[in-house]
Amino acid sequence: NYSALSCFLKERNKMSKKYKCVSRNKKGKIYYEVEFSVDPSTGDRKRFRVKSYKDQFGIDFKTEKQAFDEVCRIRTEYNAKIASASANRPQLDIPFSKFMEDVYLPYYKKTVQSVTYQTAYPQYKTFIEVFADKKLSEINIRECEDFRLSLMEDYSPNYAKGLWCKLKKCLNYAERLEYIENNPCRKLDNPKGEKPKTEFWTVEELDKVLKTFDQTVYEERQFYTAIWLYFMTGMRVSEGLSLKWSDIDLKNKVIHIQSTLEYQGNGKYVRKEQTKTRAGMRFLEIDDETVKVLQNWRTVQVYNREDNFVLARFNSPMNKTTLSRMLKRHALVAKVPVITGKGLRHSHDSFMINVLKKDVLYVSARSGRTDKATTLNTYSHFYDRQVVTGGAEITEALGELGLTANPATIPPSKETK
């Protein structure tokens, strides 16, 4: 009898599987349990469940079908409340331009450095010009696709990908704040970018460029010093521009990198006591020749006190655009690839890997990168071309340990026997 009752209960529970969200408890009593993601009364996105053994009139369910009908009624009522709540919040359905200027850009400005904001603002203005006064809720997936295709047609792959990802972040933020229910960009693929190629100089090419400077001219001595310093240290451009003589210990051959220089326009600069990454705060050992170059420059520099900038003519920091123009001009004279300040950093890392055979951890630490994988991904083609050494060191270690490939033919245990 017990087994028959057990089989009956199993069959009865199986029957309830036909109706989603409807179940029976151990005593066979029918109930429903429904889960929702938004509270219609507050609009908060917080999951909550509704469970009951009775219908809206307080009557127990006699069949699974009755419970399922109650589930359908509750869901219909829930959707109607959500729609009504959305209709009663017209203030959230604002134009895209107003959302960007009043909501997103103030938020973005607080999350990045001011120089990053200034660089990105023209890109965000592109979005504002395209979608202008169109309401957020009216931006659909087809319009987003048209914009994505136009980016791929008008810009380089990497620039198009960067713009598209920025637009997606804007609409993601609108979704998080519940200005829109869904980001229309989410279902669309990102444009395919290309691995950026940064030109760099070899030591031989650096030598050609340095020979184009007349070091008897004050300005050219400054540029000569700047190129040498960046090539031999791998500093970021803003890190080098912010260096003061107090940051350099020529006696112990160490540079303390602890700041960046930010240009604010109208000839105004701000020296920020921070670097791009936490790993950027570092002590950097320099070579004897670099020490001589710095000593020679400080000897002729007009303002050369401890609190003066190193790469400055009259205590006015060098501008990034000035550095770029100078690099281009002298590269053309020397007939070598035209590179940027970032290219000098790339050149240093190439020198470390290809000439000094340094590993990725060393190069990453010297360059002030937080993520070692970034260095490996950027310079993997350098490592692919070089022979990975270490055989001689292993041979020497094995010899000292007495481990040989020609051991005794007869094991000692058998010789004893």
Rounded CA separation 318/291 (Å): 20
Q: pLDDT 10s digit of each residue in the chain, 417 long?
A: 445 555 555 555 544 457 888 889 988 899 998 887 666 555 555 677 888 999 888 899 989 888 888 888 888 888 777 666 655 544 457 899 999 999 999 999 888 877 788 888 999 999 999 998 889 888 999 999 999 999 999 998 888 999 999 999 999 999 888 888 889 998 898 988 777 677 889 989 999 999 999 988 999 999 999 999 999 999 999 999 999 999 999 999 999 999 988 877 677 788 888 888 788 889 989 888 999 999 999 999 999 999 999 999 888 888 888 999 999 999 999 999 999 999 999 999 888 888 888 887 888 888 887 766 666 656 655 555 555 455 676 677 767 766 656 555 555 555 555
**Closest C-alpha among 308, 310, 315 to residue 295:** 310
Answer whether 211's CB lies under 8 Å from 328's CB: no
Backbone angles phi, psi at 88, to 5 degrees: -85, 5
Determine whether 372 is exposed, middle or buried from the number of CB atoms within 10 Å of its CB (0-12, 13-18, 19+): middle
Residue the block writes with tokens 């009951």? 52
**Closest C-alpha among 48, 61, 73, 78 to residue 16:** 61
**Closest C-alpha among 14, 57, 54 to residue 32:** 54
Which tokens go with 166?
Answer: 């920025």
Rounded CA separation 294/222 (Å): 10
What is the model's pLDDT at position 16? Answer: 46
What is the model's pLDDT at position 146? Answer: 93
Angle ∠(119,124,129) on CA atoms, nearest 5: 135
What is the model's pLDDT at position 218? Answer: 92
What's the sign of the alpha-carbon dihedral 133, 136, 138, 140? positive
Encode burial over 113-133: b for 16+ CB neighbours within 10 A, e otherwise.
Answer: eebeeeebeeebeebbeebee
Encode burial over 188-209: b for 16+ CB neighbours within 10 A, e otherwise.
Answer: beebeeeeeeeebbeeebbebb
What is the model's pLDDT at position 3? Answer: 55
Rounded CA separation 324/215 (Å): 19
What is the model's pLDDT at position 332? Answer: 95
Which tokens go with 352?
Answer: 């470390």
pLDDT digits (tens, 9 = 90+) for 166-216: 999 999 999 888 888 889 998 898 988 777 677 889 989 999 999 999 988
What is the model's pLDDT at position 149? Answer: 93
Rounded CA separation 124/96 (Å): 11
pTM score above 0.85: no
